[in-house]
Amino acid sequence: MALPRSPVVVITGASSGIGLATALLFARRRAARLVLCGRRHRAIEAAAAACERVGSPRAIGLAADMREPAAVEALARGALREFGRIDVWVNNVGVGAVGRFEEIPLDTHRATLAANLGGVLHGCHAALPAMLRQGRGVIVNLGSIGSRLPQPFATSYIASKWGLAGLTESLRHEVRGRGVEVCGVYPTIVDTPAISRHRGNFTGHALRTAGLPALSPERVAEAVLDVAERPRRAVHLGAAHLAVPAFWMAPELAGRLSAALAGRALFRGPPERHDPGAVEAPMHASRVETRAHASRAVMPANPLRVVTRGATRGEVAAGVERADDRGGARWGLAALAAGALWLLAPRAAAQAMKAAVREGGNGIR
């Protein structure tokens, strides 16, 4: 399915990170007419202005919360009123919190599910009727490696991402043959504010994100554009997806290793009070800067400046991607080897698992 010239593209979660990188890429590469959605009015207007500077003939920034069905329907109506059609709809909203399940407030769990799964549900429901009337269109849902693997201490986030994958697969086959494509993009860790600044933290410890193997938002944006131009079922980005067969082969071992690694990563920083981050409401600028300093993240201070100056596939992105290829591949291959060991020699695998837990801990008191 070839995209029309200057396609109409709606992107949610577009004020920063993957959404902003995707909007800028569509503007620069396809001269797309854009409708951008985010929760912060000033940030989403700035994103729209940046897109017009790099090639979009018209970009609109609308403040809306994807958890609200009426707001999402209004977003779709606004796109149709302004441009008369919707060619691509990118569901990119993502929030989450880490910590022990019982210590994360129920409201935070519910807000995570409402945004990550409910927001995608609302987006698909708003976009699909217009696309069916047109007889064509592409919906791209942003999942993560968490759509394929369990992750202790991020339970509601993982539940939302598994649900997103199920929604994407089911809807894809439901609308097959009706001119609409539903596709999934599943990256590993991405170097965005959602990781370094906006994530809820209920571990009781400061989170350190610097040094994590991570993809750049620009690399994920390239995948989104590619799947919009050449629709297909799914794109899996990042070498850590090599670990997925290990989960298929030995789910118990893979889950235990995941808990041990997560506990070691999350519960060893300096003490810090619980913080809901941006899960339930957008963070004010002062809180964003405080969280960014505390995390010592590798994210640039102003991602808008980076992506608008032409570094989309340049030196900033390349260094992050190389780190993911090395660290992610090592982790994925180790998990795959562990799964094979569990099948071939379960007793030896159990002993290795006990040693790993003793060394790394699993964050349990």
- Supply the DSSP string of 131-180, one letter for each residue: HHHHT-EEEEEE--GGGTS--TT-HHHHHHHHHHHHHHHHHHHHSTTTTE
CA distances (Å), origin 181, targets 41, 135, 186: 30, 11, 16
CA 346 to chain centre: 35
The 234-237 sheet, strands edge to edge: 59-63, 33-38, 8-12, 88-91, 137-142, 180-187, 234-237
Q: Distance between CA 182 and CA 305 in Å, rounded?
A: 32
Residues β-bridged to residue 137: 180
φ, ψ for residue 308, nearest 5 deg = -85, -15
Q: Are 96 and 143 in contact (CB under 8 A)?
A: no
Q: Are 91 and 67 in contact (CB under 8 A)?
A: no
Amino acid at position 250, single letter: A
Of the candidates 89, 157, 202, 247, the residue annotated as catalytic is 157
Indicate if 186 belongs to the active site: no
Q: Which among 71, 73, 123, 70 is positioned nearest to 94, based on CA atoms?
A: 123
Amino acid at position 289, single letter: E
Assign 357 to helix, strand or coil. helix
Residues β-bridged to residue 177: none
Q: Are 6 and 33 in contact (CB under 8 A)?
A: yes
- The catalytic site residues sit at 157
